[in-house]
C-alpha cells in the first residue's frame, strides 16, 4: 500500500512538473509586439500636437515645421537636415498614389514662392485622404489633409526616408 501511495505521488508530481514546464515555456515564447520605426516616429510627432509655432524651435515650448520633423526623426536615430528645403533632397521621391505612413510631404506655401519651404509627416491615410502633421505659424502643430485646397495647391513632392 505504501509503495502505491509513493508511486501515485510520484506520478502526480511528474505530471504537474510537465504541465508547469510546458506552461512556462509557452508563456516565455510570447514576445511583446514589435513597433515599427514608422509607428514610433508618428507617435513621437503626434505627441507634439498643440505645441505653439516658434521659428527655429525644436522643443515642446515651440517648434516650426522642420523642427517638428527633424526632432521626431532624431528620436528614432534618423538624422535629417534642419530646413525643409534641405530635407527635400533626402530620401526617395514617390508619387502621391504610393504615399505611405511616415513619408514626408513638401510644400511651396504662397507667401514664400520659388522653393520648398514647408514639410509635414504623413500620419494617417483614410481612403484617398492623406493626413499629415506639421507646424503652422497660426495654429502651431496640427494635422491637416492633403486634400484641403490650400495644401493640395501648395504640394510639391513626397519623399520616403524610412524603408
Does the pLDDT of residue 1 top 80, yes or no? no
More confident residue, 77 or 10: 77
**What residues are annotated to the active site?**
65, 118, 134
Spell 128-139 as b/e; 16+ CB within 10 A means b.
eebbbbbbeeee
Buried b or exposed e, range 47-61, using 16+ CB within 10 angstroms: ebeebebbeebbeee
| pLDDT value of position 8 | 44
Res. 10 pLDDT band, cuts 50 70 90: low
Nearest alpha carbon to residue 134 among 76, 146, 78:
146
What distance in Å separates the CA atoms of residue 142 and residue 120, rounded to the nearest whole number?
Answer: 10
| Range of weakest confidence among 1-10, 26-35, 112-121 | 1-10
Predicted confidence (pLDDT) per residue in 74-106, tens digit: 999 999 999 999 999 999 999 999 999 999 999
- Is pLDDT at 7 greater than 50 in this prediction? no
Q: Residue 27 — very low, low, confident or very high, per pLDDT cuts 50/70/90?
A: very low
State the DSSP code for 148.
S
Report if pTM > 0.95.
no
Write the DSSP string, 6-71.
HHHHHHHHHHHHHHHHHHHHHHHH--PPP--HHHHHHHHHHTTTTPPB-TT-EETTEE-HHHHHHH
Please give the average per-residue pLDDT across 45-52, as a whole number.
99
pLDDT of 9 over the 70 cut: no
Amino acid at each position: 500500500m505504501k509503495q502505491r501511495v509513493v508511486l501515485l505521488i510520484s506520478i502526480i508530481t511528474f505530471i504537474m512538473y510537465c504541465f508547469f514546464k510546458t506552461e512556462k515555456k509557452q508563456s516565455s515564447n510570447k514576445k511583446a509586439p514589435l513597433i515599427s520605426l514608422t509607428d514610433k516616429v508618428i507617435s513621437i510627432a503626434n505627441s507634439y500636437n498643440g505645441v505653439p509655432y516658434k521659428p527655429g524651435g525644436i522643443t515642446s515650448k515651440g517648434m516650426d515645421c522642420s523642427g517638428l520633423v527633424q526632432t521626431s526623426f532624431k528620436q528614432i536615430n534618423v538624422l535629417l537636415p534642419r530646413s525643409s528645403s534641405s530635407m527635400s533632397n533626402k530620401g526617395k521621391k514617390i508619387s502621391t498614389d504610393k504615399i505611405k505612413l511616415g513619408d514626408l510631404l513638401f510644400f511651396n506655401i504662397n507667401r514664400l514662392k520659388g522653393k520648398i519651404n514647408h514639410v509635414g509627416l504623413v500620419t494617417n491615410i483614410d481612403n484617398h485622404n492623406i493626413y499629415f502633421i506639421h507646424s503652422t505659424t497660426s495654429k502651431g502643430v496640427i494635422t491637416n489633409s492633403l486634400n484641403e485646397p490650400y495644401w493640395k495647391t501648395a504640394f510639391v513632392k513626397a519623399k520616403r526616408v524610412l524603408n
